[in-house]
Chain A
């Protein structure tokens, strides 16, 4: 009996081992609010610990945004929603260029916002979504030293690579919604390529502009 028992034991261990290895990496299974909390805490800690960033070093800030935030942002989905019905009319080449330019613009904008973090704390509100949802909203607020706390909400969608952010709400205004009007007006005026060129121009301008050092 012994060799058979051994065989069964080995087989069982093998099966168990492979199932553990085959299990998806924990990162892809991270709950959306846990993900956002982790990114926020990470980013804020980095900003507070780094004097260079606080002094307005644009390259460092953009590096921070590119490495810690962008991997979790679905820029294409953001652009698709901001472009609305025009997305379907765009060629894949135009879609790609538009997503890239929009993403770059957001990186510049977000960097500007990050360089101004000082003593603010972020408070997360309880999630109201079903665990089975694939499209959720994570709500938080930034407690500032004066005035009302600033609302900061995120919309995330679950894709093949886990949860990704596709919209941000600051002070009650959703980013995608706010850009929709501008996109539509620009596309009506000079077409999708016109919009892409305008974004590219703006990004060039921002690249050469030094970040203002906060007081």
Chain B
């Protein structure tokens, strides 16, 4: 944690400053860095675990799936499971009061299950009925339940406290949960997971390049995306906060109240 910036040329000052800086840094480490993430320690540990499983098992499987299976088979798999999820999306849209989207999703299921041969062909999209991704967590959000802290779930990935509480409803409503025999069901769950991983393979490679800290990047991106999903594309009241933060007026320097975490950069810089 040695600072390369010139604190001072006097060695005595440097020692003192370093000591002060390290005290503050340690204090900074104890405080949560993000108010949306009070469970950061747990989340980071789970993220590391998920990452390990991903690198060792899921990503290689998804890469092989993507490279080996013919395109139309991958599309078929994706459409089949997509059709099953449309049933619950339709119900959630209706519960959120979005009648038009609800009926549209219902029509998707009807068309794809029949003309689409059990959902393997996605005829509804070509007919202009766009796919919606609605789950019970979003429904709760629309009903006014706040998202709660960020929560990284083992194997299932990023979530929030509200969405985790909604998961049992999602599982119960998933038609595939009732598929018999059990071994076919489990194979299906595995294939679905691999297919979903394969569909975000390139995006995840992009994250590795774009992010300085993948955990934070994924968390901050996910929380925004979740908010956007609940409100179907509206980002909510965030905009005003950003504008206040970015005011370039030089006069405001004198009014800046130093916050507990910021003495560290100050001591290091000057």
Contacts and interface: CB of A to CB of B under 8 A. Distances in A.
Interface of A: 77, 80-81, 84-89, 105, 108-109, 112-113, 116, 139, 145-149, 151, 169, 171-174, 176-182, 184-193, 198-199, 202, 206, 209, 212, 214-215
Interface string B245-270: 11010001100100001101110110
A113 B205 CA distance: 10
Q: Which 5 A-B pairs have the closest CB atoms?
A: A172-B228, A172-B225, A173-B224, A173-B221, A109-B210
Interface in B212-227: 212-213, 216-217, 219-222, 224-227
A86 B259 CA distance: 11
B183 interface: no
Interface in B167-223: 199, 202, 205-206, 209-213, 216-217, 219-222
A178 B264 contact: no
A189 B40 CA distance: 16
Contacts of A186: 212-213
Contact of A84 (B131, B217, B246, B264): B246
Contact of A109 (B1, B130, B206, B253): B206
Contacts of B66: 215
17 contacts: A80-B248, A84-B245, A88-B248, A109-B206, A112-B205, A147-B131, A148-B133, A169-B235, A172-B235, A177-B242, A178-B221, A179-B217, A182-B211, A188-B265, A192-B269, A193-B269, A199-B212
Contacts of A87: 246, 248
Contacts of B78: 146-147
Contact of B216 (A89, A151, A181, A215): A181
Interface string B19-58: 0000001001000011000000000000000000000000
| Dominant secondary structure of chain B at its interface with chain A | helix
B120 to A, nearest CB: 13
Interface size band for B: 35 or more
A212 B193 CA distance: 23
Contacts of A80: 246, 248
A25 to B, nearest CB: 27
A171 B233 CA distance: 9
A182 B216 contact: yes
A146 B199 contact: yes
Interface in B60-77: 66-67, 75
Nearest to A201: B212
Contacts of B130: 148-149
Contact of A146 (B75, B205, B224, B226): B75
B9 interface: no
A178 B217 contact: yes
A4 B75 CA distance: 80
Contact of B245 (A81, A171, A212): A81
A185 B33 contact: yes
Contact of A206 (B209, B224, B252): B209
Contact of B224 (A89, A139, A172, A212): A172
Query: Which residue among B210, B222, B224 has the maximum number of chain A CB atoms within 10 Å of its CB?
Result: B210
A85 B209 contact: no
B126 to A, nearest CB: 10
A172 B227 contact: yes
Given A177-B238, A202-B212, A88 B253 contact: yes
B229 interface: yes
